Structure 1
């Protein structure tokens, strides 16, 4: 599965969590980032499939 690219917000969040807010282990932050990006990839795919299906079902 091809994950979506890192967004500027995701990079900012990762830097904040690992460098400036040392409350979580870097591995935990990386795992959460992977989970978020995987979830966003799946949501994007479902969104596009739904829109495509709606376009095909629309009356001419």
Structure 2
């Protein structure tokens, strides 16, 4: 019988982690090299400083 492995991705705006499930009764384990984290962006880096451009041209 072929071994079934399931990967599970858990992520939000600043972190991501991949877990592996090796089958019934095996539980979850973290994939060591597939674990990311970045600094959270400040609201000033996310917000825009003005309104977007509207459609132009003749109608």
Using the size of structure 1 for normalisation, the TM-score is: 0.24
Higher relative contact order (CA 8 A, sep 6+): 1
- Larger Rg belongs to: 2
Using the size of structure 2 for normalisation, the TM-score is: 0.24
Higher strand share: 2
